[in-house]
Structure 1
């Protein structure tokens, strides 16, 4: 299964004094994960505990219906690096939480 193919590596030229010009380096940027098929019983604390070993930054954000205030069954979580996001996707996609099998992928724009 391909993992974070768009965010895997970004090359840039190192500033003078740090490394020879043209030396590729791995970029460290944050990556959002979409976690779907959540039970209505799942809380942000449950997700934080599940994602903490993978470099969770901040708190996961559960989506709620604007009129009813009920959970929509998905959340967005920000992880520290593309590598940690790939590890989280591999470990958590298909894992059971509160009787539901999680669907975990890289978040798309507008989610």
Structure 2
């Protein structure tokens, strides 16, 4: 599936250029961004469903979307150093890591 990353750009409008740079240069970021787009799309479909099992599916999708968003915020924090993204990653989060020190 081709990804436009429109949902990701909408979620992080201040760093659109960085998102497109990372999706073209960082395979792990691209994988996470694609999954974020897929989960966001699936969540939108689940939210419009009238099926009985849609509620539990929405909860699981929302939890995964939140995890992905936290990880993406951590990567954007490492790339930009901007507190806007850094502050959205709890200190105890497994997503908090320094990619710069590994480079």
Q: TM-score, normalized by length of structure 2?
A: 0.30
Task: Name the structure with the higher strand share.
Answer: 1
- Which has the larger Rg? 1
Task: Name the structure with the higher helix share.
Answer: 2
* More contact order relative to length (CA 8 Å, sep ≥ 6): 1
Q: TM-score, normalized by length of structure 1?
A: 0.29
